[in-house]
């Protein structure tokens, strides 16, 4: 497989068949070097596409894909501090996919707090985990079926806490910002939009969320025009978090920091077009309460506004007008 374009994201409920295909192939091919053929067969045959439904709902499950094909997956039980699985389809072996999946699992665990992780490694995978800094603890067994156990190795790794550092962009960050937006939205439009706003001098705020020195999230705020509003209102967006790290509070940190810094700089209000189950926790309410509209085709609950200064929107009304750079972003 040449030219692998790796993307890691959280698993969805419909990923069972793809995860199963990668898992079964990995067992049948990569595990046969350390286990008997009969053991490998029983191991793979007990799995079905439905085997992963509980993990997807209750645990942190990530898939690695090339295009639409799932070629690997990893499972973290954050409550038990256990890495439950890292498997890569043999078609994608030795290309860093397993290491990338393990890094996402470890990073997710660190975002939840410091401590020691553990796992039961298959015998063939022990060198992989040792190379990633895990320690061998003791031998154990894993039950495949009644009366059918296979040898495994308990391994552990102590992880430090991982702070989310929020800072403003620098000129050197443009490529990383573009990459984060493209990964989050699955298209180039939002990254290009940020570039155009920057070129026009219209980025009121451009904040990065950084993990271990790497950009994991981005938030832009730019000027909007609202008749009757006080205090130079801003529009929030786009906001992007790498798919692998969504659901860990990174977006919330960006919004909190963005609103706080906008308030410090004298901006009176912020509007956003976004998820109505997410933004109200930061003080956003339907913009219609202030007599504001974005587009008559947009549902009332998804266009929201928040006053950073009480009364900033008291005399506001009418349509909110974004910068012309937004016109080029496809729906």
Q: Say whether both 246 and 141 belong to one domain.
A: no
Tell whether the model's pLDDT for residue 146 goes beyond 90. Answer: no
Contact between 35 and 150 under an 8 Å Cβ cutoff? The reply is yes
The CA dihedral of 174, 278, 212, 128, to the nearest 10 degrees, is -110
Instruction: State the Cα–Cα distance between residues 243 and 224, nearest whole angstrom.
Output: 28
**Percent with pLDDT over 90 in the chain:** 92
Residue ending a domain, choose from 159, 183, 205: 159
Evaluate whether residue 1 is within a structural domain: no
Q: What is the pLDDT of residues 229-269, one digit of tens each?
A: 999 999 999 999 999 999 999 999 999 999 999 999 999 99
Contact between 222 and 202 under an 8 Å Cβ cutoff? The reply is yes
DSSP 278: T
Contact between 98 and 88 under an 8 Å Cβ cutoff? The reply is yes
Residue ending a domain, choose from 92, 125, 159: 159
Residue 2 φ/ψ, nearest 5 degrees: -105, 145
User: What is the DSSP code string of 153-197?
Assistant: EEEEEEE-----EEEE--GGGHHHHHHHHHHHHTSSHHHHHHHHH
- CB environment 267-295: b (16+ within 10 A), e (fewer): bbbbbbbbeeeebeebebebbeebebebe
Q: Say whether both 128 and 175 belong to one domain.
A: no
pLDDT of residue 308: 98
Q: Say whether both 169 and 292 belong to one domain.
A: yes
DSSP 321: B
Average pLDDT over residues 147-160: 95
Evaluate whether residue 301 is within a structural domain: yes
Q: Say whether both 197 and 79 belong to one domain.
A: no
Q: Say whether both 43 and 153 belong to one domain.
A: yes
With H, G, I as helix, E, B as strand and everything else as coil, classify residue 139: strand
Q: Say whether both 236 and 139 belong to one domain.
A: no
Task: Indicate the pLDDT class of residue 1, thresholds 50, 70 and 90.
Answer: very low
Residue ending a domain, choose from 137, 159, 181: 159
Q: What is the pLDDT of residues 268-319, one digit of tens each?
A: 999 999 999 999 999 999 999 999 999 888 899 999 999 999 999 999 999 9
Contact between 180 and 218 under an 8 Å Cβ cutoff? The reply is yes
- Residue 243 is part of which domain span? 165-328
CATH number for the domain that contains residue 58? 3.40.630.30
Average pLDDT over residues 108-113: 94
Q: Say whether both 176 and 324 belong to one domain.
A: yes
pLDDT of residue 331: 54
Strand partners, 205: 221
Task: Indicate the pLDDT class of residue 2, thresholds 50, 70 and 90.
Answer: very low
Q: Say whether both 193 and 149 belong to one domain.
A: no
pLDDT of residue 139: 98
Angle, in degrees to the nearest 10, between helices 174-185 and 189-199: 150
Closest Cα partner for 177 from 221, 211, 207, 202?
Answer: 207
Q: Say whether both 184 and 316 belong to one domain.
A: yes
pLDDT of residue 184: 95
Contact between 142 and 150 under an 8 Å Cβ cutoff? The reply is yes
Strand partners, 223: 234
pLDDT of residue 330: 57
Q: What is the pLDDT of residues 168-202, one digit of tens each?
A: 999 999 999 999 999 999 999 999 999 999 999 99
Tell whether the model's pLDDT for residue 5 goes beyond 80. Answer: no
Q: Which two tokens stand for residue 111?
A: 């975002």
Contact between 271 and 282 under an 8 Å Cβ cutoff? The reply is no
Q: What is the pLDDT of residues 40-74, one digit of tens each?
A: 999 999 999 999 999 999 999 999 998 889 999 99
Q: Which two tokens stand for residue 166?
A: 């929020």
pTM check: above 0.85: yes
Q: Which two tokens stand for residue 74?
A: 């990893």
Tell whether the model's pLDDT for residue 326 goes beyond 90. Answer: yes
pLDDT of residue 68: 83
- Checking DSSP bridges between strand 269-273 and strand 234-241, what pairing results, if any? parallel
């Amino acid at each position: 497989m040449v030219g692998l374009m790796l993307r890691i994201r959280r698993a969805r409920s419909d990923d069972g068949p793809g995860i199963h295909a990668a898992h079964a192939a990995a067992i049948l091919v990569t595990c046969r070097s350390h286990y008997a053929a009969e053991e490998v067969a029983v191991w793979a045959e007990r799995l079905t596409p439905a085997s992963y439904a509980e993990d997807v709902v209750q645990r942190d499950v990530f898939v690695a894909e090339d295009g639409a094909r799932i070629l690997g997956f990893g499972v973290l039980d954050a409550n038990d501090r256990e890495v439950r699985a890292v498997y890569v389809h043999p078609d994608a072996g030795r290309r860093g996919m397993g290491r990338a999946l393990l890094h996402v699992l470890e990073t997710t665990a660190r975002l939840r707090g410091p401590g020691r992780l553990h796992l039961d490694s298959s015998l063939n995978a022990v060198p992989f985990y040792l190379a990633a800094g895990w320690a061998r603890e003791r031998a154990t067994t894993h039950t495949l079926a009644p009366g059918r156990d296979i040898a495994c190795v308990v391994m552990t790794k102590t992880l430090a806490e991982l702070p989310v550092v929020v800072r403003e962009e620098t000129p050197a960050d443009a490529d990383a910002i573009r990459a984060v937006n493209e990964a989050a939205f699955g298209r180039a439009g939002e990254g290009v939009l940020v570039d155009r706003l920057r070129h026009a001098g219209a980025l009121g705020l451009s904040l990065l969320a950084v993990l271990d020195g790497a950009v994991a999230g981005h938030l832009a705020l730019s000027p909007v025009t609202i008749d009757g509003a006080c205090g130079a209102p801003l529009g929030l967006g786009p906001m992007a978090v790498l798919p692998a790290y969504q659901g860990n509070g990174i977006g919330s940190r960006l919004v909190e920091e963005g609103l706080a810094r906008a308030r410090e700089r004298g901006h009176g209000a912020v509007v956003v077009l976004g998820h109505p189950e997410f933004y109200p926790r930061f003080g956003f309410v339907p913009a219609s309460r202030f007599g504001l509209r974005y587009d008559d085709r947009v549902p009332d609950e998804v266009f929201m506004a928040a006053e950073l200064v009480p009364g900033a929107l008291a005399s506001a009304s009418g349509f909110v007008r974004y910068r012309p750079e937004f016109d080029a972003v496809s729906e």
